């Protein structure tokens, strides 16, 4: 007899993970692979974090914590909003999460019911729509282009509502993955105003704050108290595997988030929480990483056009360059496979981020070291038509 399988559990794979697995397989077989596919810093956690982690390992502070997180970390995160955005935030509003990924689960579950509709930009980070669909929430695509800098606007939202019906939520990311584009203060203000006026719950993914090249990231918290502000220690703080992030939660959903967190996760790993308290005081080391990303970005923006990759999103922040390659291929997955096989350069096909139009785009991650970027550019210039 056939056993039951859920429909909502059938989410698509994260294709970049498949690319990474293939790149790793080639590396183990002795090939010289350059990793421009993965969206994670090549550096480890800052030394101040490691020191606290080592001391905590031999302490008696590694049991469950309160579901909302340990007080010193919540207080330190609240202080960060004062230091960085001049916002006086009560520590009580801060919830520590298992990476921002855990935060999305809590935000979506507390704000939306099955059948609700949540809008998000295409291209965008694939886990948003896959988590939404696993929870029975409809992900409503807002097709964006380079002309709107791949970000939603009130006008685009109006059009989506007119054409497809009312929406209950909106997810924005600034800087965004895969495009690196950002929302300026006026744009963030317009979006928060639109959401508040129309009863739309906003989720603002601010995980790439700190990694910016053309001005600092704006937080939605400067303009509204009704949004979920999602952030993480994974990117700027270089702590992907520690699985620790945070949210600033709207007051009306605070207790709901707490009860969900108690039941779903009990608590975030205690070691990571205690160590993360030190992360905010490691700015010198972390800003040196950002300087490296900036050098990588400059190198690639200069060298990729010489390989015929000249249709590039602005890359204002994060560590990605999103390139339109429609003049070279209409099958970005095959294109990336071929480039990996013939040059050893691993890149992510755009289909992860935009299922249809992503057939003509690729995402290049410059989170690695500068020598790797230089060598990748050289190999691409030698391989691609249009090499200069």
- Residue numbers at the binding site for ligand PLP (CB under 6 A): 39, 99-101, 125, 173, 177, 205, 207, 232, 234, 240, 245
Do residues 137 and 86 make contact, with C-beta atoms less than 8 angstroms apart?
A: no
Nearer to ligand PLP, 246 or 335 (CB): 246
Residue 158 CB, shortest distance to ligand PLP, in Å, is 25
Q: How far is the CB of 205 from ligand PLP (least distance, A)?
A: 5
State which residue, 206 or 303, has the beta carbon closest to ligand PLP. 206
Whichever of 240 and 296 has its CB closer to ligand PLP, that residue is 240
How many whole angstroms separate alpha carbon 124 and alpha carbon 181?
11
Minimum Å distance from CB 31 to ligand PLP? 25
Q: Closest separation between CB of residue 227 and ligand PLP, Å?
A: 15
Nearer CB in complex with ligand PLP: 129/379: 129
The SS3 call for residue 349 is strand
* 212 secondary structure, DSSP code: B
Candidates 102, 69, 113, 114; CA nearest to 267 is: 69
Looking at the Cβ atoms of 69 and 245, the one nearer to ligand PLP is 245
Listed in sequence order, the residues at least 6 apart from 187 whose beta carbon sits closer than 8 Å to its beta carbon are: 151, 153
Q: How far is the CB of 357 from ligand PLP (least distance, A)?
A: 18
Query: Distance between CA 381 and CA 187 in Å, rounded?
Result: 37
Longest dimension (CA), the chain: 62
Query: Closest separation between CB of residue 337 and ligand PLP, Å?
Result: 22
Rounded to whole angstroms, the Cα distance separating 89 from 175 reads 22
Considering the complex, state which of residue 65 and residue 234 has its C-beta at the smaller distance from ligand PLP. Answer: 234
Identity of the residue, 77 or 307, whose beta carbon is nearer to ligand PLP in the bound complex: 77
Residue nearest to ligand PLP (CB): 99
Between 216 and 387, name the residue whose CB sits nearer to ligand PLP.
216
Structure tokens at 381: 């210039």
CB of 300 to ligand PLP, least distance (A): 18
**In a 3-state reduction of DSSP, which class is residue 19?**
helix
Q: How far is the CB of 312 from ligand PLP (least distance, A)?
A: 18
Which sign does the torsion angle of CA 117, 123, 126, 127 carry?
A: negative
d(CA 239, CA 217) in angstroms, rounded, equals: 20
Exposed, middle or buried: residue 201 (CB in 10 Å: 0-12, 13-18, 19+)? buried
């Amino acid at each position: 007899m056939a056993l039951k399988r859920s429909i909502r559990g059938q989410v698509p794979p994260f294709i970049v993970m498949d690319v990474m697995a293939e790149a790793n397989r080639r590396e183990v077989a002795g090939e010289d692979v350059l990793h421009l596919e993965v969206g994670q810093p090549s550096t480890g956690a800052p030394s101040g974090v490691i020191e606290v982690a080592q001391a905590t390992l031999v302490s008696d502070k590694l049991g469950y914590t309160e579901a909302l997180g340990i007080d010193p970390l919540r207080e330190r995160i609240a202080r960060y909003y004062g230091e960085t955005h001049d916002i006086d935030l009560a520590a009580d509003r801060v919830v520590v999460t298992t990476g921002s990924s855990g935060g999305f689960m809590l935000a979506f579950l507390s704000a939306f019911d099955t059948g609700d509709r949540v809008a998000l930009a295409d291209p965008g980070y694939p886990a948003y729509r896959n988590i939404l669909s696993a929870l029975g929430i409809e992900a409503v695509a807002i097709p964006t282009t380079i002309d709107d800098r791949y970000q939603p606007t009130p006008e685009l939202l109006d059009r989506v509502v007119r054409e497809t019906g009312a929406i209950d939520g909106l997810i924005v990311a600034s800087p965004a993955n895969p495009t690196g584009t950002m929302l300026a203060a006026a744009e963030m203000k317009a979006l928060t105003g639109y959401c508040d006026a129309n009863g739309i719950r906003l989720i603002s993914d601010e995980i790439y704050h700190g990694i910016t090249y053309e001005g600092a990231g704006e937080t939605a918290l400067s303009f509204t108290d009704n949004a979920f502000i999602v952030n993480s220690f994974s990117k700027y703080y270089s702590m992907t595997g520690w699985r620790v992030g945070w949210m600033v939660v709207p007051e009306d959903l605070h207790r709901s988030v707490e009860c969900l967190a108690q039941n779903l996760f009990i608590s975030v790993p205690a070691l990571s929480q205690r160590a993360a308290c030190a992360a905010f005081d490691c700015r010198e080391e972390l800003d040196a990483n950002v300087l490296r990303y900036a050098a990588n970005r400059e190198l690639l923006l200069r060298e990729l056009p010489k390989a015929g990759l000249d249709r590039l999103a602005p890359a204002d922040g994060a560590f990605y360059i999103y390139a339109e390659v429609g003049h070279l291929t209409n099958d970005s997955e095959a294109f990336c496979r071929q480039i990996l096989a013939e040059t050893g350069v691993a890149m992510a096909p755009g289909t992860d981020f935009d299922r249809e139009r992503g057939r003509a785009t690729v995402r290049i991650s410059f989170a690695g070291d500068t020598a790797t970027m230089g060598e990748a550019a050289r190999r691409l210039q030698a391989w691609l038509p249009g090499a200069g």
